[in-house]
Structure 1
Amino acid sequence: MEQESVSLKKLSLWQVTVIGIAYMTPMTVFDTFGIVSGITNGHVPLAYLLALTTMLLTAFSYARFSKHSEKSGSAYSYTTESIGPKSGLFVGWCTLLDYLLLPLINVLLAAIYLTALIPSVPYWFWVIVSAGLVTLVNCFRIRLLANISLIFVFAPIILMIIFVYLVIQGIGSTQGYEYVLTLNPLWHGQQELLPLVAGASVLCFSFLGFDAVTTLSNETQNPTKTIPYAVLLTTLFGGMIFFTASWFIQLYYPSNIRFHHPSEALPEIVLYVGGALFQSIFLCGQIMNTVASGLASHASASRLLYIMGKDNIFPKKYFGTLHATLGTPFFSVLFVGLISLSAIFLNLAQVISLISFGALVAFTAVNLSVFVKFYVREKQRSGFKNKFFNLFLPLISVISILCLWINLDSSALKFGSCWLAIGILVFIYKLMKKQNITLTNTC
């Protein structure tokens, strides 16, 4: 097993960063714009800026911990190492919620876009094709995923650059180019804080890429050096893409008045800006972007299952082993693929709000893990630098995340609580099973 792990350490800093950005799905800004614009009264860029600031604080905690640990598993491994296996189990279980739902959402979105382009083909067929393709690629070594992600990330970014150009040309030719040079997309009129925080709580799931890259430690060159930089670069680059794109969308659409369906505004956004041909091309780019995110999220979910399988949280025989030839967690990859097929029976509204619950659990847990490991257990308290990184920064991060918790959608809280309750039952079952084994051995 150890030899297999060493042989898989092939990813460079930029490959890991690209996978993280692919996981973030840069073009998701077009999918969520109409929703967040309504929540924030036309201040989407400001909501992204608030979300980016909050996520950067947490990203520093991820980078801090990953610099001192080669373990994969992200929040699950960090919590287990610093606070204990029981806490790690509950954090891992809650985090698993968004890890399993993100591949499902990407399959669902890909099927929606493909059905829009080719309506004669049934929706369920595209779900099977999308889930099957993503699962197949993830069965092979991680370098194949990194190379495909590189193509599927940069092609949509080029389309986003063309979109920005068309917005500037459209506004400049009709209203004058002086209207492009304005701060209105960021701030116009009075804006209350609570709607901005509510908008940022919806957008925080878009930043899950920096959490996902920490699950690739076992397959990365020099993980204690590469992963911390990848975490910060993924957050910064992803945040810059989100902020820039939302700025120009907000510039062209100051409000939601022009949208017939604000919750599904992407087709209308690109149609009004570039026409029917550009809309079709953009949808193709969106499909590529969704596939890239699906590949990355599928890889991260299967590796989290693999780490938890190695720790016997799930059956080690299936989840905690690598394929002898492929060198990948084959069974975990197939399991995530089967979960993704449930997109046939679900819709986007039922799933998307649930992801933030697991994300916020992970973010909160990692900040607390930094505090417990470095400030409490290792007693790194002397001097301003230690106090800042080990006490003040995690504390500020937790407070900022608590603001997002307060504004989380009620349905996400209810479903997340049910998921946590199932995790508690699993924990009780494993505890009773362990006690029975101990009693049997004693007798």
Structure 2
Amino acid sequence: MTTSPITAPRTKLRRSLGLWAIVGLGLGYMTPMTVFDTFGYVSDESGGVVPLAYTFALVVMLFTAISYGRMTRVYPSAGSAYTYASETIHPNAGFLVGWTALLDYLLLPLVNALLVRQYLESFFPDVPGWIWVVGYVALITMLNLWSISSTSRVNGTLVVFQVVLMAIFVLLAFGALQQGAGNGTAFSIEPLYHANVQIATVISAATIVCFSFIGFDAITMYTEEAKDANTVPKAIVLSLLIGGVIFFTAGWFAQSLFPVTEGFTEGTALPEIAYSVGGMLFQIFFVSAAIAAAAASSLSSHASVSRMIYVMGRNGDGPLARRLSYVHPRFRTPAVAVVLVGVVSLGAAIADLDFIFSMINFGALIAFTVVNLAVILHFAVRRREVKTGRQVLRNIVLPAIGVVLTVVLWLNVSADAMTYGLIWLAVGFVALLVMTRAFRRRLRMSVQEDRVIAEGTEGEDALLEDDRERLHAGE
């Protein structure tokens, strides 16, 4: 009996990621060292309270992280906000949310390639930048194509390297403060609050630094590669809390040491901070750690967005959708999606960093808002779990606070981010009209991987048995 590609048992993603592997991928995605790259700009925007801006953003993200953790248990598919919106609202809404989220997921690997290009150009100004981009993107793409386990191991090494260098920075900054530099002490409350602090400027700065937390949500993309159902919800909260502590600590010592940021180059404060604290040798190591941070973020962001494209393709129809949902039979990775992300990342050879940054937060904050809303719709509306005070708190109050806080941040994004983000959303709406033939045709949504995670190996065996039965029946 000849088996057609359509009826053959489908190759699935490999379940190989444990808790700390996924936490490491989330931290790698966050790129902890961005706190130094953006320090000058955030300090000016917040009025000299960088750690307070990070604290505000962390609180907003915690409410959203709780919602992500709950929804990933209900719909353990790699599609994240796309899946949750499709299931709780409507597949059309899910497509638009997924399309909007692609704005930040797809552009972050490009941003990291662009940062690496700029770092290497500063060391080797005579080498054309496109050479670094092509070589770097090819390496990241091959690692993601090879296996998610190898990606996780390399990412973990790079994350440890940057965290160690950040710890050395804290020690050097503490020593300098004790000798009278900056505020003259590491224990002054000035970095967190002073007389000139204004809530509006803190919110504006929090809108900027929330970019640093993008990564905890991307963890949901690894749901179909997690070893069990409890891994991803725990990893979401752990990566967010660990990342928040790192951002707060680094921001506190940087703000204490540099209460006034005059003289810093906007957007490139990291090398200047490193040189001021530890001299040329430390600057070399610190910039090396920044390159490692960008590489770690590239690995994890490339991996996560390829999983999102894979799920959207798996739920679509036609030859394009089938190609995007292709899983390599040997490596068990979404090969076509991985390569597609690599092709987009080549745009780092010509892209403008300010423009790309202005686009990213728009999509992320919309996705965060919808995930909080999905909790209310699923638990409070659909399942009517509002009979006790605890249920009302978990299913209405907490996610509603998350909705309000993320909307506040979204309304405070830059004018460029709002303009270009709305243009991107409009393009997605046109694509939706074409695919649904002006809403006369319903988009298909499938979360068949749920059964695998919910039932473990037995569930996976059941799916394989279902495949065999369909083959024998000639379906």
TM-score (norm 1): 0.95
Retained in 1: the 8 A contact 2:11–2:328? no
The 3 A distance-change label for structure 1 pair 45 and 313 is farther
Corresponding residue SS for 1:263: coil
Aligned-pair distance for 1:435?
Answer: 5.5
After superposition, the C-alpha distances for 1:299-319 in whole angstroms (9 at most, x for unaligned) are: 011110000000117822210
1:275 aligns with 2:294: no
Match of 1:350 in 2: 355
* Structure 2 letter corresponding to 1:225: N
After superposition, the C-alpha distances for 1:85-125 in whole angstroms (9 at most, x for unaligned) are: 01101000000110110000000001111111222322111
Corresponding residue SS for 2:176: helix
Corresponding residue SS for 1:305: helix
Aligned-pair distance for 1:177?
Answer: 10
Corresponding residue SS for 2:207: helix
Match of 2:172 in 1: 166
1:10 aligns with 2:16: yes
Match of 1:136 in 2: 142
Residue in structure 1 matching 2:73, options 48, 67, 70: 67
Measure the CA separation in 2 of the matches of 1:268 and 1:167. Answer: 14
Corresponding residue SS for 2:29: helix
After superposition, the C-alpha distances for 1:169-219 in whole angstroms (9 at most, x for unaligned) are: 122224599722211111122211010000001111211111100011110
Corresponding residue SS for 1:350: helix
Match of 2:288 in 1: 284
Measure the CA separation in 1 of the matches of 2:184 and 2:245. Answer: 23
Retained in 2: the 8 A contact 1:75–1:92? yes
More helix by share: 1
Retained in 2: the 8 A contact 1:213–1:227? yes
Match of 2:334 in 1: 329
Residue in structure 2 matching 1:245, options 224, 233, 250: 250
* Structure 2 letter corresponding to 1:280: I
Match of 1:193 in 2: 199
Corresponding residue SS for 2:261: coil
Retained in 1: the 8 A contact 2:79–2:311? yes
Measure the CA separation in 2 of the matches of 1:257 and 1:230. Answer: 39
RMSD after superposition: 1.8
Measure the CA separation in 2 of the matches of 1:177 and 1:109. Answer: 31
Residue in structure 2 matching 1:49, options 45, 48, 55: 55
Aligned-pair distance for 1:267?
Answer: 1.2
Retained in 2: the 8 A contact 1:117–1:280? no
Please list, as runs of the form range in 1=range in 2, the aligned pairs for 1:352-391 lying within 5 A after superposition: 352-391=357-396
Please list, as runs of the form range in 1=range in 2, the aligned pairs for 1:14-53 lying within 5 A after superposition: 14-53=20-59
* Structure 1 letter corresponding to 2:282: F
* Structure 2 letter corresponding to 1:228: P
Retained in 2: the 8 A contact 1:306–1:320? yes
Match of 1:207 in 2: 213
Match of 1:115 in 2: 121
Residue in structure 1 matching 2:105, options 88, 95, 99: 99
Retained in 2: the 8 A contact 1:168–1:177? no
* Structure 1 letter corresponding to 2:291: I
Retained in 1: the 8 A contact 2:47–2:196? no
Aligned-pair distance for 1:40?
Answer: 0.7
The 3 A distance-change label for structure 1 pair 313 and 106 is farther
Match of 2:461 in 1: none
Match of 1:440 in 2: none
Match of 1:86 in 2: 92
The 3 A distance-change label for structure 1 pair 289 and 367 is same
Runs of 4+ in 1 over 3 A off after TM superposition: 1-4, 174-178, 433-437
Corresponding residue SS for 1:209: coil
After superposition, the C-alpha distances for 1:368-424 in whole angstroms (9 at most, x for unaligned) are: 111001100111111011101110011111111121022111100101100011001
* Structure 1 letter corresponding to 2:347: S
TM-score (norm 2): 0.88
What number of residue pairs does the alignment pair up?
Answer: 434
Measure the CA separation in 2 of the matches of 1:120 and 1:99. Answer: 32
Measure the CA separation in 2 of the matches of 1:109 and 1:4. Answer: 35
Retained in 2: the 8 A contact 1:310–1:319? yes
Measure the CA separation in 2 of the matches of 1:318 and 1:418. Answer: 27
Gaps of 5+ in 2: 1-7, 443-475
Aligned-pair distance for 1:255?
Answer: 1.8
The 3 A distance-change label for structure 1 pair 436 and 163 is closer
Aligned-pair distance for 1:324?
Answer: 1.6
Gaps of 5+ in 1: 438-443
Measure the CA separation in 2 of the matches of 1:231 and 1:299. Answer: 16
